[in-house]
Amino acid sequence: MGDCLEQYEVNRFFVKPTKSEDRKEAKDNYVVCVNSNTKKRLDLGKFAVVSTCCEEIKQTLHVHCQVILDSTLLNNEVKLDETLRTALAFPCEYVDYAKHTVEIYPLDLTLLQLLNEYISRLLGRRYLFFRVCRADSLDMDKTYARVNLESIKLLGTTEGNNLILENAIKNENNRYTLKKISLQVYELTPEIQKVRDGLQRRYPYRFPSLEKVLPVEQDIWPILFDLYVREELNLEVLDPLKVRRDLLSIFLREFREFGILFFLTSLTITTLLPNNQMTWKLLALISSFIVSLSLTLINIKERVK
């Protein structure tokens, strides 16, 4: 018991809000700012997990984010982005920071996950946090998610494409590893939301209203999916979930809709060249493929709002 209490005290920090200058190195990610002593003491790498207990729902919530150094912080202080504070069910505006504490733990990423992180940043991305909710009765036993249409556009993808859902899983040594799955996404339509509002009134325990159970004036968007997905990611209802678009999914769709058409058009043009100009035909084909691939990647990058 003593060891657990000591570990808790070592990892507990008072929360301050981040400012614009703190996000200069954010690289399209959400950040937690710590000083160098804290980073070294907790053995933090590029990423960390921030955890807190929400008394209103008697549930421990956690988010993972990028680590930024800040020399102005004390050893018992951290800075958190507003989205992270909302995801952890902190009130939108609070003055007494001493009432709001969090725990910080290392997040270990594999080499492949680090490479994937770099590529996704290079090709353009936006992370959003969602609040996990049970699927509507019509969507039970389906392997897809429903979210607000505006959030789909902000993520830089379209309905029917896949999203990458990420959750950090705690190990026995108080370190976390990252679990991801790719899931097709569809709009949470007004009709489905209307049915859901009725379910929340009739079955408030099974379908809790975010506005009523959380101390947040304007919460993050809900994401609806079935029990199978929650079990895969070790999630509970009302947990925050970090999401970005699936680059492979959107690349395949963009290339089908645009890249192949451009390539076939170029292929038709090369047939106009004389038969004795095979070298030029080959160069034209290779060039058109490279151009179509490049334009597809540019389209993907430009989709992020």
242 and 128, same domain (yes or no): yes
137 lies in a domain?
yes
Residue 150 has pLDDT above 70, yes or no: yes
Residue 175 has pLDDT above 90, yes or no: yes
237 and 130, same domain (yes or no): yes
22 and 49, same domain (yes or no): yes
Residue 18 has pLDDT above 90, yes or no: no
116 lies in a domain?
no
219 and 261, same domain (yes or no): no
Say how many CA atoms lie within 13 Å of 165 toward its Cβ: 28
Q: What is the count of structural domains for the chain?
A: 3
Give the best-scoring range by mean pLDDT among 9-13, 140-144, 156-160, 215-219: 156-160
Q: How far apart are CA 130 and CA 198, in angstroms?
A: 21
Looking at this protein, which amino acid is placed at residue 134?
A: R
271 and 283, same domain (yes or no): yes
153 and 219, same domain (yes or no): yes
The pLDDT tens digits for 262-294 are 555 555 555 655 555 556 556 656 666 666 666
Average pLDDT, the chain: 83
Res 289: pLDDT: 63
CATH at 31: 2.40.40.20
Domain edge (last residue) among 85, 111, 137: 111
156 and 242, same domain (yes or no): yes
Percentage of the chain surpassing pLDDT 70? 75
95 and 179, same domain (yes or no): no
138 and 93, same domain (yes or no): no
281 lies in a domain?
yes
47 and 96, same domain (yes or no): yes
Domain edge (last residue) among 59, 79, 111: 111
Give the best-scoring range by mean pLDDT among 60-64, 113-117, 121-125, 136-140: 60-64
The domain containing residue 262 runs over which residues?
249-302
Q: How far apart are CA 85 and CA 73, in angstroms?
A: 18
Give phi and psi for 180, each to the nearest 5.
-130, 150
The structure's pTM equals 0.82
Name every residue whose Cβ is closer than 8 Å to that of residue 81 and which is 6 or more positions away in sequence: 17, 18, 23, 30, 31, 32, 65
